[in-house]
A and B are shown apart, each in its own frame.
Chain A
Amino acid sequence: MAFLEVRDLKVHFPTDDGLVKAVDGLSFSLDPGQTIGIVGESGSGKSVTSQGILGLHRRTSAIASGQIMLDGEDLMTASNERLRQLRGDKMAMIFQDPLSALHPYYTIGAQIVEGIRVHHPEVSRSAAKARAIEMLGVVGIPSPRQRVDQYPHEFSGGMRQRAMIAMALSNDPSLLIADEPTTALDVTVQAQILDLMRKLQQDFKSAIIMITHDLGVVADMADEILVMYGGKAVEHGSVGEVFSTPQHPYTWGLLTSMPRLDRVRQARLNPVPGNPPSLINLPRGCAFHPRCRYTAEVADGGCSSVVPGLDEVSGEHLARCHIAAPRRTEIFIKDIRPRLRGEESS
C-alpha cells in the first residue's frame, strides 16, 4: 500500500440552495519523495480535497465519505484528537496567503516554537527556538537569529512564504500539502520558493500534494498530475504522459488557451468557451459537456445524459471522457498538438 491512499473521497456541503458536491469521488495515491499536482479552476474542488485529507472539514457542515489511509492509518475514522496530533507533525500544510495564515500578534519565532512544542512538549523552549532559527536558515531567510524575533508585517511577501514553509517543515512532516504556495508571489520569488521546495523534498523525502491552477508549476514540480473539473478528476497520470498526450478535452482547453513563452507566439488564443459550472447545479452527464467542442463525436447525445467513468487510457493514465481513447489520440494529434506547437493549423 502506498504511503497515502485516497479512495473515493467525497466532501459534500448541504446548503439552502442544495447540496454542493465540492469533491465527488476522488482517488489517488502518493509515495514518499513524490509530488502530485492537483490542477483545476476556482470551484473545481481542489482546495476542499486538501482540507478533507487534513480533516479540516470536520468543523463545518460537510458530509465526507470514502477512505484516506496515511501510512496505514485510517484518517476518515480517526478521532479529532488524533487528527490534531497528526496535523503540523506528520502532515503539514502551506497556505496560499501567508499574511492571513500567520498570526499578526506573535513573532515568527513564537509561532514556530508553538508548533514544535505542541507536538513535542519534551522539547525545551530554548531548544525549540534554536530549531526555529535553524529552519529559518534552511529556507533561506538572511540573518535568522534577528529575524526570528520579528513580526509577520516586518517580512516581505516572499519571506513570509518562506517562514510558513519553515513552520510547516519544523516537525519533519512526511506529507506536505501546498495549496497555491506561490500564486501570490512574483515570478522571481516563485522560482526561489519552488527551488527550495524541491531541495527540501530531496532532503526530507516528504510526499507533496501541490494544489495549483498553474500548469507551468505542475510541469516543473510534479511527478503525477490530477486535473479536476466540477469536483471530479477528469484526467490523471504521470506528468510526462499527460503533457505529451493529454486525453481529456478540458486538459486540451487549458493547454491551448494559455499563451506560452516557450513556443512561437500565436496570432490568437483558443479559449475554452463558457464559464466554469456551479457545483450546486452541475450539468447533467459529463460536467464539461456544455463547454466541450467534441460532443458531436459521441452518439445519441451521450455526453449530456451519461456521466463518463474515469477509464484507463494506458497503464496509469486515466481520463473521464466518452470519446474512445484511440479517437481522442487522433483528435489530439490532428487538432490540438499543432496548436500547442504554434503551427497554427485551424
Chain B
Amino acid sequence: MTVTEPVATAAATSGAPLLRVTGLTKHFPQFRQTLIKRATNPVRAVDGISFDLQRGQTLGLVGESGCGKSTAGRTLLRLLEPTAGTIEFEGRDVTHARGEELKKLRREMQMIFQDPYGSLNPRQTIGSIIAAPFEIQGITPEGGRRSAVQALMERVGLNPEHYNRYPHEFSGGQRQRIGVARAIALRPKLIVCDEPVSALDVSIQAQVVNLLEDIQSEQQLSYVFIAHDLSVVRHISDRVAVMYLGKIMEEADRDDLYERPRHPYTKALLSAVPVPDPERRKKVTRILLNGDLPSPANPPSGCVFRTRCWKAEDRCASEVPVLTELAPGHRVACHFPEPEPAPISFTAPVAHSDETPA
C-alpha cells in the first residue's frame, strides 16, 4: 500500500518552479533471513512528499532524526532511486533519468554534506578534490582547471596557495568551505545542503551560513536546506517544510510557519528550542511531547503523529490527514489544526503546558 498524498492545490507562485517534487516516496525493503529470505515491512523513510522550489529560493526541510529529511534530499538528487513519485527539474521529468542524461543533470544539482571530515578524501589534495567535478564531467574551464579551482578557493574564503594541502591540515569550518567550493564548481542551479553547519562550532556556523547566502545571491542558486536546527533554518529559508516520519506535516513561507504554526507538531518543535535568554524560562512553558518517534517500518495508522499528539482523537487513528492549503501558501496535514490567529510561537499555549512524561 503506497499512500501518496494528493497535493490539495498547486503552489500559487509565479512561473514554473525550478524543482517540482510530487508524491516522492522512498521505501527501503527489509528482509528477514530464516530458511527462505522473506521481505518484511519496508522502512518508509520518505512517504509521499510534494513541494515546489523556485529559482533563487531556499526551502528548509526540518524534522527530527529519522524523519526522512536526508533520504528525501538524496532521493531528489537521484543519489537514491525513488520508489514512487516524480521529480521535475526545470519542467523536465528526471525521475528516471539514466546514463548521459543523469550525468548532465548532475552539473545542475549538487550536494553539500554534513560531515566535513567524512566527505573529503583524506588522500587527495584540496586542489584535486575541488577539481573532481570538472574531471568527472570532462570539462576544462577557461584558463585551465588549476586557476578555476584557485578562483573557487578564493571565493569561499580559502587561501589559494593551499591548493596542494590535504584535508587534515584544515579546521572543520575550512573543510566545510572546501565542500562548498566543490559544490559550486560546475555552477549548478540547485544545491542540496544536508546539515551543512551542524558539525561546526557556534562562532564558525555563522561564517558558513553567510557564505552560503552570498553565493546564493551571486549565482541565483536554489537551496534545499536540510537541518534539525530550527533557528538556522529560519535564518536561511524562504519556505519551510516540517517533516515527521516520512511525511510533510506543514509547509509555509518562513514567517508564516514560525509566527503562525498550524500543526501541533510544528508548535511543539518550536516551543522546545532553548533560547539564550534566562528571563524566558520564567515566562514560557514548553509543550513536552511524550515518548519517542515510532518506527518508520511500522508507522501508526491514520496520522503518523497521533501517538505523540495531545489533540489526537479517534478520527486521527483511522483517517490519514491530507496536506491541505489552509491559507494561501500554507499547507497543513492535520485534522485539528491550530486556529488561524494562533498565538505567536513564543507566547505559551496555556491549555497544554507541562505535559511531562510520567
Contacts and interface: CB of A to CB of B under 8 A. Distances in A.
Interface of A: 41-42, 140, 142, 156-159, 186-192, 194-195, 199, 213-220, 239-240, 243, 253-255, 257-262, 265-266, 268-273, 275-276, 291
A188 B204 contact: no
Given A157-B65, A265-B255, 11 more contacts: A42-B201, A142-B291, A188-B269, A189-B64, A189-B292, A192-B357, A213-B201, A213-B202, A220-B274, A261-B345, A291-B203
B328 interface: no
A258 B202 contact: yes
Q: How large is the interface on B (under 10, 10 to 19, 20 to 34, 35 or more residues)?
A: 35 or more
- Looking at B209, B268, B292, the one whose CB has the most chain A CB atoms below 10 A away is B292
B281 A188 contact: no
Given A140-B358, A188-B64, A191-B288, A219 B275 contact: yes
Contacts of A257: 202-203, 205-206
Contacts of A186: 64-65, 228
Interface string B212-256: 010000000000000010111011000000000000000000110
A128 B358 CA distance: 22
**Consensus secondary structure, chain B interface:** helix
Contacts of B65: 157, 186
Interface string B284-325: 001011011100000000000000000000000000000000
Contacts of B231: 258-261
Nearest to B289: A188
Contact of B273 (A192, A239, A255, A261): A261
Contact of A158 (B203, B255, B268, B292): B292
A255 B202 CA distance: 9
A216 B273 contact: yes
B26 to A, nearest CB: 21
A192 B288 contact: yes
Nearest to A255: B276
B5 to A, nearest CB: 23
Nearest to B280: A262
Given A188-B64, A188-B289, A275 B173 contact: yes
B258 interface: yes
A259 to B, nearest CB: 4
Contact of B292 (A156, A258, A276, A291): A156
Given A188-B269, A188-B272, A41 B289 contact: no
- Looking at A41, A42, A258, the one whose CB has the most chain B CB atoms below 10 A away is A258
B147 interface: no
B277 A243 contact: yes
Nearest to B356: A195
A253 B289 contact: no
B125 interface: no
Contacts of A195: 286, 288, 356
Contact of A269 (B235, B254, B272): B235
A140 B357 contact: yes
7 contacts: A41-B201, A219-B274, A255-B276, A266-B235, A271-B203, A271-B205, A271-B206
A169 B269 CA distance: 28
A187 B273 contact: yes
Contacts of B202: 41, 213, 215, 254, 257-258
A282 B234 CA distance: 36
A217 B278 CA distance: 10
A268 B272 contact: no
B277 A262 contact: yes
B275 A262 contact: yes
B237 to A, nearest CB: 10
Interface in B95-131: none
Contact of A254 (B203, B274, B356): B203
B191 to A, nearest CB: 19
B230 A261 contact: yes
A270 B206 contact: yes
A187 B267 CA distance: 12
A41 B199 CA distance: 12
Contacts of A158: 292
Contacts of B272: 187-188, 190-191
A85 B207 CA distance: 46
Given A140-B357, A186-B64, A271-B207, A239 B278 contact: yes
Contacts of B173: 275
Given A240-B278, A243-B278, A275 B204 contact: yes
A216 B207 contact: no
A258 B278 contact: no
Contacts of A159: 292
